[in-house]
Structure 1
Amino acid sequence: MTTSPPGTSRAPAAAAAPTTRLAGMLPTDPLLLRLSLLTLLNAFGRGLFFPVSVLYFTRVIGLSPTSVGLGLTVAGLFGIAAGVPAGRASDRWGRRPVLTVLWIGCGAALAAYTVIGSYASFLATAIGYAALSQASMGVRNALYADVLPAGARVEGRAHLRMVTNVGMGVGGAFGALALQVDSRAGYTALILLDAVAFVGSALMVFRRPGGAARRPVDDSPSPSRWRAVRDLPYLSVTFLNAVLALQYSLLEVGLPLWIVQHTDAPRWSAALIMILNCVLVALFQVRATRGVSDLPGAVRAMRRSGLLLALSCAVFACTAGLSPVGALAVLVVGAVVQVLAEVLSAAGGWTVGYGLADARAQGVYQGVFNSGQAAATMAAPAL
């Protein structure tokens, strides 16, 4: 994995790149500070929408849970397909213009949710939102590749992931309030607030969060337009990273069902595990990047992540037949092991995803890498 196929230009490892200079939640580096504020706003908006979306579609719009699930699955397929074209567009026209348009489109799609009145309009809006949102993630990651120094890129991504967890946690708390009120007005207000957050994020990107508006100029021969989708080593790594990404749906879907159907643990244990996960990831993600600044270190981190993830699943399985208190205690142990796997897989995935990509086409490469994770997210509930 550490060698590049002939004819490609991989991102160089900057031996003396400046550090991100983290100091608690807010970094002292001006560029990373701007990216942190941008990430916080975007994550807060997504945290608002995440807990209320399905209930809004079923209780307010009046759609059946089955039809909503089918519609979101179809939308997810369009989201997977959107990553590569958006990445190619950002390689050609620049990260910021493309990301600005995508995030404004996300805001418009969210606002459209408040006026839908039929299944056809729901499906069209869900497809539009999924495609725009998923496409924006790959372009955003390519923007990080452009503006963060290579030697500090993984540490910077770790800090931004910590900020993402905090933003989504705060947004989720407001979402919980809307769930308690359970009114159309409350759901609508949160959806529109998320739309405003997307537009605000787009404006912050447009006003230059640091770095060049277009990708760095490279005098070497331009790579094939769709090289990433034919780069078999990179596709193999993308697939393996997607396997590790199944752990996110394990926590969101698989574990809650396991707790309710096969253990005597309290039902609220699933919520406790999610809260514990958010807190521990925020605490340990930056620390987990140490030793993962090059490809060999990333390979080791991802190998350890896979082993720890397997161990956490075995621990979770041991909760069947235990007393409520015992099952809860073992679930917490499994959750801690899973967090260690999660922070290592994230750090390793960032390094591999950037390090094995052609530096002249980060947009399309990050689109491919992100599409692999999106495919895992879509397939995981059925698995």
Structure 2
Amino acid sequence: MAGDSGPERVLVAASFVNRVGNGLFNAASALYFTLVVGLPAAQVGAALTIAGVIGLCAGIPGGHLADRHGARAVMAAALTVQAVAMAALVLVETWAALTLVATVDQIAAAVGGAAWGALVARVGGERPAVFRAKLRTFVNLGVVLGTAGAGAALAADTRGGYVALVLGNAASFALCAALLLLLPRYPVLAAPPRQRRRPAFADRPFLAFTALYGAMGLQYPVISLLLPLWISEHTEAPRWTVAALFAFNSAFCVLTQTRIGSRIETPYDGGRAFRTAGLLFLVSCPMMALAAYAPVWAAAGLVLAAVFVHSLGEVWESSAGFALGFGLAPDHAQGQYQGLLGLGFNAGQALAPAILTTAVLGLGTAGWLLLALFFAALGAAGPPLARWGMRTRPQPAAAAEAAAQAP
């Protein structure tokens, strides 16, 4: 990371450590709760759903806290709470205890996510797109390494191994919080006079982008949920294809995020990138559907080619989200705006399994084609939304003065 500023290196390191821990835990969390804690899968699902829904409500207040009291302090506090909650999971023995601990964790995660967005906006410096792309590269790499590390515990299949994963994730939260203390104390930015208390809720272009971003987020479970089910139930592709596509998707994003994302800097760039992503998904989804009609090795090749195109779309989509999400948000309210954006994205992710399994798997090939058209339509809305958003942004003082003096 030669040439990076000290704060950039700190935030990259903190995010990497955090995501390694996430990878360790997420790969084995369901098995830990069912095999080690001994809870029925239905109870585990209910506990995590309740926690997730309650956590959705915490992002916007958490972002407001970050704007008013400093993103670094709020994020470090949220990570500390997550470290304690994660460590407490090793003591959980009942459904009620799991629900309580998971809810505390999800509230802290939502608050920390909004504060993280505000902190990224402050640390990004003069070339924020380059930094955010690099940050996502290391985040993806951390998840890959954490998931690989979880494989050893899964192979051993012992209580001690699963507990080690839980405590490893707790330690990653604590280390991440400690690393944030190396960042400077960025001053809180004052809101303009007569500014609304919750300006994000009155910002119609940003609200529209939040809905658009949440809907386009359905592309993530296409790889993690929908395609594996399609391969298993409708194609002749060997089962190892599922593992191969996960590895390929992660590696592709790690290798290309900085190269592509560093060129997408302004909201206008983001709108065009959103359109490009929609067109790539328009190609990838029918390719996945066609695998059901191909012989075994052709099906495997077609699926991997589809994942290549889809992964390229994912990189363009995430880069568009950075450019629009940060570019349309005012500096003094980044936390609140990122909290709202996170709410929209997480709501979409919560609805995605039901939508994808019923609307796409239920309709078969026609469902895939409808999904492709859906993504393309969302992408086409990117450029006009970017233009609308920029028309409604406050003009910088110098530009406003020049406009007032113009004949």
CA distance in 1, matches of 2:311, 2:260: 11
Q: Name the one with the larger helix percent.
A: 2
What is the aligned counterpart of 1:195 among 170, 175, 182? 170
What is the aligned counterpart of 2:89 among 113, 124, 131? 113
Aligned length in residues: 355
Residue 167 of structure 1: aligned partner: 142
- Native 8 Å contact 2:62 2:110 kept in 1: no
CA distance in 1, matches of 2:8, 2:98: 37
Residue 329 of structure 1: aligned partner: 301
Residue 50 in structure 1 maps to residue 26 in structure 2: yes
CA distance in 1, matches of 2:142, 2:106: 20
Which TM-score applies when normalising by structure 1? 0.89
Residue 142 in structure 1 maps to residue 118 in structure 2: yes
Displacement, 1:295? Answer: 1.6
- Relative to structure 2, which stretch is displaced further, 65-74 or 280-289? 65-74
Displacement, 1:307? Answer: 1.6
What is the aligned counterpart of 2:201 among 229, 239, 253? 229
Q: Which SS does the other structure have where 2:354 is aligned?
A: coil
Residue 394 of structure 2: aligned partner: none
Residue by residue over 1:280-302, the C-alpha shift from the partner in whole angstroms, topping out at 9 and shown as x without a partner, is: 10111111125421121110000
> How large is the RMSD of aligned CA atoms in angstroms?
1.5
Residue by residue over 1:73-112, the C-alpha shift from the partner in whole angstroms, topping out at 9 and shown as x without a partner, is: 2211122111001001111111111111100011111111
Displacement, 1:126? Answer: 1.3
Displacement, 1:214? Answer: 3.6
- Native 8 Å contact 2:269 2:320 kept in 1: yes
Runs of 4+ in 1 over 6 A off after TM superposition: none
CA distance in 1, matches of 2:194, 2:328: 17
Residue 359 of structure 1: aligned partner: 331
CA distance in 2, matches of 1:28, 1:213: 18
Residue 275 of structure 2: aligned partner: 303
What is the aligned counterpart of 1:206 among 159, 178, 181? 181
Residue by residue over 1:131-187, the C-alpha shift from the partner in whole angstroms, topping out at 9 and shown as x without a partner, is: 2112211210110111211x4111101101110111111111111111111111111
1:261-280 matches, within 5 Å, as 261-280=233-252
Displacement, 1:367? Answer: 0.5
Q: Which runs of 5+ in 1 are unaligned?
A: 1-21
Give the partner amino acid of 1:371: L
Displacement, 1:28? Answer: 4.1
- Native 8 Å contact 2:129 2:263 kept in 1: no
CA distance in 2, matches of 1:61, 1:140: 32
Give the partner amino acid of 1:213: Y
CA distance in 2, matches of 1:239, 1:220: 26
CA distance in 2, matches of 1:300, 1:178: 43
What is the aligned counterpart of 1:182 among 144, 157, 162? 157
What is the aligned counterpart of 1:239 among 211, 214, 222? 211
Determine what percentage of the aligned residue pairs are the same residue. 33
Relative distance call for 1:315 and 1:198 in structure 2 (3 A) is: same
- Relative to structure 2, which stretch is displaced further, 233-242 or 33-42? 33-42
Displacement, 1:313? Answer: 1.0
Residue 85 of structure 1: aligned partner: 61
- Native 8 Å contact 1:78 1:127 kept in 2: yes
Relative distance call for 1:290 and 1:101 in structure 2 (3 A) is: closer
Greater relative contact order (CA < 8 Å, ≥ 6 in sequence): 1
What is the aligned counterpart of 2:15 among 25, 34, 39? 39
- Native 8 Å contact 2:23 2:146 kept in 1: yes
Q: Which has the larger radius of gyration?
A: 2
Displacement, 1:219? Answer: 7.0
Relative distance call for 1:377 and 1:204 in structure 2 (3 A) is: same
